Amino acid sequence: MWSQPTPTNAGLRPGFAASLVPGDWALLVRLPSRVLAAVLAVPVDPPLVSAGLAGLATIAQARATPAGLVREVATAIFASAEPPDDPGYPVRDECVRAGFVLAQRVPSADAEAYRAWVRRIGEAGVDPVPGDPVCASQMDLLDECQRALAA
């Protein structure tokens, strides 16, 4: 009788998911979607479906990136059938926690790639209209998240 590799481990080598404690890994996997949701939660009239789709496309494209952490997180996001748990605190607080994890437990090149990727995801959810206060609010939120991730 033969066995085939399971889809969950076929061709994968241990990476960040195995090297980080489960709570830290879950935080890094949850954060990109939370940042996108926070940007999309800023009221826009009419709501732009295309902005949400652009953010999801930015996440999906990262499954082919050479940056190890970003690729693993993007793959994990799309591999899960369950929506991420809501931790019950603001996305800015999650960015602070993720910034600590990135600074203390992730090589700097991967950490920087992750920070830039999260920013791109959020920016994909913004409809850039010069002088628009909604766009300015969304960009302010992204700036706060970026500062928190860099801390």
Q: What is the pLDDT of residues 23-56, one digit of tens each?
A: 999 999 999 999 999 998 887 776 678 888 999 9
Instruction: Report yes or no on 132 lying in a domain.
Output: yes
Provide the domain count of the chain.
1
Instruction: Report yes or no on 5 lying in a domain.
Output: no
pLDDT (0 to 100) of residue 12: 44
The mean pLDDT of the chain is: 85
Which range marks the domain in which residue 23 is found? 18-80+87-150
- Read off the tokens for 109: 């090149």
Q: What angle do CA 85, 53, 49 make, to 5 degrees?
A: 100
Q: Which of 32-41, 97-106, 107-116 has the lowest mean pLDDT?
A: 32-41
Closest CA to 111 of 47, 49, 20: 20
pLDDT (0 to 100) of residue 47: 64
Instruction: Report yes or no on 142 lying in a domain.
Output: yes
Instruction: Report yes or no on 10 lying in a domain.
Output: no
Give the global pTM. Answer: 0.83
pLDDT (0 to 100) of residue 1: 43
Instruction: Report yes or no on 8 lying in a domain.
Output: no
**For residue 16, pLDDT beyond 90:** yes
Instruction: Report yes or no on 2 lying in a domain.
Output: no
Q: Tell me the residue length of the chain.
A: 151
**For residue 99, pLDDT beyond 80:** yes
Instruction: Report yes or no on 1 lying in a domain.
Output: no
pLDDT band at residue 87 using 50, 70 and 90 as cut-offs: low
Measured distance CA(11)–CA(5) in Å, rounded: 9
> Which residues are CB-neighbours of 30 under 8 A, at least 6 positions away?
84, 85, 87, 94
**For residue 22, pLDDT beyond 90:** yes
Instruction: Report yes or no on 45 lying in a domain.
Output: yes
